[in-house]
Amino acid sequence: MKALVNGRVFDGERLREDVTVLIDGERIVALHDAGAPLPAGAERTDLAGHLLAPGFIDVQVNGGGGVLFNDLPTPAGVQAIAASHRRHGTTGLLVTLITDQPAVMEAALGTVTEARRQGLPGLLGIHLEGPYLNPARRGVHPADRIRTPEPDALERLAGHADTGITLVTLAPEQVCEGFIADLTARGVFVAAGHTAASFNAIQRALTEGLRGFTHLFNAMPPLGSREPGVVGAALADGTSWCSVIVDGIHVHPACLRVALSAKPRGRLLLITDAMPTVGTSNTHFALLGEPVERRGGHLTTRDGTLAGAHLTMDQAVRNARDLLNVPLTEALRMASLYPAQFLQLDHELGSIQPGYRADLVLLDAELRVQRTWIGGR
């Protein structure tokens, strides 16, 4: 048994200074009275007054540590990506494949199955962003690889039972009626993104089981007075989730504050949309043949198109607090509890409670990551 002592503990709802967190194996077994003797034989870890919080969960990680998942869809590639983000507090992630050829998609799905079989720490599943997107809202997704669903698309997307979570981002207007419902019935989570769907089309998709919206405001038309579109449908719906890139670049903070006001509490979650530059000093990489340059926090192609983000989850938490003016506890929930709820994993992730997995992050006063634990390790 491990005893994490002398820390401020954010349990998912409130900050506490009166508990010691006891871990046995992969699970939290108790929030122990800080003034009581420790169980016999417990291994004591002094947190030095730092903040212990639920580990961060990122549902959109394209790369990190110099690796783009599309370029290296192997267990080693996933391991390098996960390791680079773990240093920034991410203890659970969906490795993300952007629009690519069917063979690469198949390799990526097989890789995630194998990596999870090997027990790769922190890998919760896969996010397929594309290829069923609207070419007019493709961003940096390669136009020659965007397509409508093939006859075997349902089997391809839902046929890997051991991938863990499978999340698919698609444009509802690019798929036939019933496609989203069929995916949902097979246990696949579906989000709308890179789309120009009308308000009514999104309403239909929601009735089919559309679960959320990928990087709200980005790669979709703006809210209109007579055509609310994707953004209006997302903000008006109280049951769906919206992921947001809070880097001060992708979306103006005022727009995100509007979204926070419109959506019920718990329906906005932080993502990084991270690229291979995270965890490196690299200033250039190739995105499926397209040169991308990093200048400061911006990643852009030659024509100025944003190409993902140079962002980590700990920085996203700091930005949510500082740019969106949310309390620290809410910023932490946006990085842990709310993604866990979106993924239907909140019975074991996103909180520090007895019975939950010991996926934890330790933060100093500046919210810099000091340590992480995944499954108690």
Question: So which residues are the catalytic ones?
Answer: 273
The alpha-helical segments, DSSP class H, found in 237-327 are 253-262, 313-323
Residue 168 one-letter amino acid: V
Whole-angstrom CA distances from 172 to 56, 154, 222, 329 are: 29, 15, 17, 34
DSSP characters for 99-149? S--HHHHHHHHHHHHHHHHTT-TTEEEEEEE-SS--GGG-TTS-GGG--PP
Residue 39, classed as helix, strand or coil, is: coil
Is residue 369 a contact partner of residue 363, using CB atoms and an 8 Å limit?
yes
Please enumerate in sequence order all residues whose Cβ is within 8 A of that of 285, keeping only pairs 6 or more positions apart, or say none.
66, 68, 275, 276, 277, 292
CA–CA distance, 292 with 300 (Å, rounded to integer): 5
Helices (H), 281-367: 313-323, 328-335, 337-342
Distance CA 310, CA 330 (A): 23
In terms of Cβ atoms closer than 10 Å to its own Cβ (0-12, 13-18, 19+), residue 289 is exposed
Nearest to 48 by CA among 81, 7, 99: 7
Q: How far is CA 310 from CA 67, 88, 169, 354, in A?
A: 13, 12, 21, 35
How many of the other CB atoms lie within 10 Å of CB of 247? 20
Cis status of the peptide bond prior to 121, with omega within 30 of 0: no
